[in-house]
Structure 1
Amino acid sequence: LGCSGGPEGGWGRLGCSGGPDWGLWRSGSNLSLLRASYFEISVEGGSWEKQKNSGLNVATGTGSKAWSYNINKLDKQEVRAVLAIARNSSSERIDEQFVEGVTEHYNQSLVFDPEEPRMLYSIREPIVNRIFSTSRHHGFAERS
């Protein structure tokens, strides 16, 4: 992950410009300040987006079971609420085992082996308005 004032190269195709200093932790890289952060980001060669948020977390597989996992995981209450909205037109009861299965499947998709050539990024509390956008709050970028 390259960013002005921060480390350059070695972070694959997740690019950043215009941000403050970066802190590098075992779980990945984290950009977080007491005030909103502003930077531009491009993932996998996509278009650059102006971002304003409370931070950016980037994790390798080593960090995918720690802080990054806890930032992105869903709990059963959230999954149940989304499924209830999806089934709003139906009188079917939401099966608790189904909720648990969906929750577990999603959360396990966030964990990956440290040897895999990818990184998980997470945009924390994005601010979206006429100037700032976030097409994806989190996702994977391939390491080169």
Structure 2
Amino acid sequence: MKLSARAQKGWIFGCGGALFVIGVVLGGCWALIFSKILATQLGLTPDSTSYDMWKETPVPMYMEFYLFNWTNADIFANASSDLTDIKPTFVEMGPYVFSEHHVRVNVSWNSNDTVTFMQKRTWKFVPERSNGVLTDEVTTINVIAAVS
């Protein structure tokens, strides 16, 4: 069935007008809709989807430490003459990798819409990701004594 040109224009303007009205209504309500969705998705309650992730972080976290070992410190310690021509030599050691785990305990929900908790953090050495062991000896500068 073929529509007349006038009927086609009517359908096009009708659909366009309906879409325009829907756009104006949604545009006017967008701030309300957005804040409502944001509150339901990000609000922290014991029943919310983000609560379990907040209480105990499921993503593995790693902390890497690099140390600088002073290899010629004995020259400076035993020297009795002028050391202006000798420069300290440092060797980078590491990384020493630790896995970090966070758990929030003693969670209390207060009447003023706040949460009180204690955060328990634990670190565990990860030898398979580290370049060194915890018993490595490192000689370093005492920054406090060097500055004063």
TM-score bracket for this pair, using the shorter chain length: under 0.3
Structure number with bigger Rg? 2
Give the TM-score of the pair, scaled to structure 2.
0.19
The structure whose residues are more often helix, as a share, is 2
Give the TM-score of the pair, scaled to structure 1.
0.19
Identify the structure with bigger relative contact order (alpha carbons < 8 Å, sequence gap 6+). 1
